[in-house]
Amino acid sequence: MNIRKMTIGAVMVLAACATMTAENSPPVTLKQAYAGAFLIGTVMGKPPAREAEWHLLCRQFNSITAGNCLKPKPVHPAEDRYEFATADVVVKMAHEQGLVIQGHTLIWHSQCPDWFFRDGDKPAGRELVLKRMRDHIATVVGRYAGKIQGWDVVNEVIDSGKGYLRETKWLAAMGEDYIAEAFRAAHRADPRAKLYYNDFSIERPAKREKALRLIRELKSKGVPMDGIGIQGHWELDKIPYQDIEDAIIAFHKEGVDVAITELDLDVVPRRVTGAEVDARDAAGADPYPNGLPAAMLQRQADQYGKLFAIFYKHRDKISRVTIWGLHDGVSWLNTWPSKRTNHPLLWDRDLNPKPALAAVLAVPVAAAQRWGG
Ligand code: XIL
């Protein structure tokens, strides 16, 4: 355990508590509470719609993930055309505020245009797809070199079923080597950037074993890969706490950094587990259109608190925890896997803090008190 790191964080939290004011918002912000432990991020796929959202983000967070605006489909819709307008604004806003920026994502089966894989009316061969991949990564990563601190280079390529790798167009065109090639290309474009493999459900033992295999294979080939992102799209009452803790320890043992990259806590029951973006739930249940009952808000708070207690305990292994959205109104879980009114985050639609925020803020305070701070 890194005692020095813990002590600095604890002292900051206690100092902030001592200056409590009567104002409505909690006296300590997320980034203050976790200072010295890990970065606290949220996703920003485009500039926030309301000024109050941007203020809240800057006050509470010290990191953003530039999400949708950097995915291949929006950023590189045709082979000879890049669309950087939105990403440029997002990166500029965040950079000027001193937020640590994560880029998401370079290689993914979803939100990726088909031109990468076509050669006229036939499928493109390996060399052509490799060249396009290298051009794409060199251009996108190169453009933001020095501003974007880390990249989710490869996203969700482990198979959720019995196989090792997901059957994607990248795999079909290039073979298993495409993963290593993507990391190498990203490293060439910005040697200082931290490079991550990112996926959902890799805390679960079956998928975790495959992620460990991938890390080992890449390391044995000397591929420049720095870390692993556990997405963290979990569901209320179904959080696999023990698996999460085991996975953090196991990935750390392989010598890679661990980040929690897309945390949210779905409160609407669904039939789809994990975060398979193409999955759709036809049931369309929408049980909380007018808000979440107080008892559920409290349950959600307790479970967020338990999760952050695990993250905080392992802060020597974790560099960042990113929550997938600033407030309930902008969560992707309002439309996936079906349309519903969801409440998975720490602030509600009116930007009021939910009980979950207090529970998350309480974690370092409780730890400091245990240490006699
Ligand atoms: C989601 C975005 O939040 C949505 O706005 C978009 O429509 C679909 O993608 N795993 C990932 C993210 O790696 O890129 C996904 O983000 C959520 C699941």
Among protein residues, the one with the nearest Cα to ligand 1's atom 13 is: 155
Question: Helix 178-189 crosses helix 126-143 at what angle (to 10 degrees)?
Answer: 30
Q: What is the pLDDT at residue 10?
A: 45
Q: What is the pLDDT at residue 25?
A: 57
**C-alpha radius of gyration, the chain, whole number:** 20
Tell me which of 156, 181, 203, 235 is the catalytic residue.
Answer: 156
Whole-angstrom distance, CA of residue 150 vs CA of residue 193: 5
DSSP characters over 56-78: HHHHH-SEEEE-GGGSHHHH-SB
Q: Which of 111-125, 228-242, 279-293 has the lowest mean pLDDT?
A: 279-293
Whole-angstrom distance, CA of residue 371 vs CA of residue 143: 45
Question: Is the pLDDT assigned to residue 150 strictly greater than 60?
Answer: yes
pLDDT band at 204 (very low <50, low <70, confident <90, very high): very high
- Tens digit of each residue's pLDDT (9 = 90 or more) over 45-90: 999 999 999 999 999 999 999 999 999 999 999 999 999 999 999 9
Q: What is the pLDDT at residue 280?
A: 86
| H or E element, residue 40 | strand 39-43
Whole-angstrom distance, CA of residue 228 vs CA of residue 206: 16
Q: Phi, psi (5° rounding) for residue 316? A: -75, -10
Q: What is the pLDDT at residue 59?
A: 97
| H or E element, residue 320 | strand 318-323
Q: What is the DSSP letter of 114?
A: G
- Tens digit of each residue's pLDDT (9 = 90 or more) over 308-363: 999 999 999 999 999 999 999 999 999 999 999 999 999 999 999 999 999 999 99
pLDDT band at 7 (very low <50, low <70, confident <90, very high): very low
Tell me which of 53, 181, 203, 262 is the catalytic residue.
Answer: 262
| Catalytic residue check, 262 | yes
Question: Is the pLDDT assigned to residue 119 strictly greater than 60?
Answer: yes
Between 233 and 9, whose confidence is greater? 233
Q: What is the pLDDT at residue 14?
A: 44
Among protein residues, the one with the nearest Cα to ligand 1's atom 1 is: 332
Whole-angstrom distance, CA of residue 184 vs CA of residue 108: 16
pLDDT band at 160 (very low <50, low <70, confident <90, very high): very high
Question: Is the pLDDT assigned to residue 282 strictly greater than 80?
Answer: no
Protein residues whose CB sits closer than 6 Å to any atom of ligand 1: 67-68, 155, 231, 262, 275, 277, 332
91 neighbors 147 (Cβ within 8 angstroms): yes
List of residues 6+ apart from 345 with CB closer than 8 A: 264, 265, 323, 324, 325, 326, 327, 328, 331, 354, 356
CATH code of the region 3-17+35-268: 3.20.20.80
- Tens digit of each residue's pLDDT (9 = 90 or more) over 221-263: 999 999 999 999 999 999 999 999 999 999 999 999 999 999 9
pLDDT band at 369 (very low <50, low <70, confident <90, very high): confident
CA of 22 to the centre of ligand 1 (A): 38
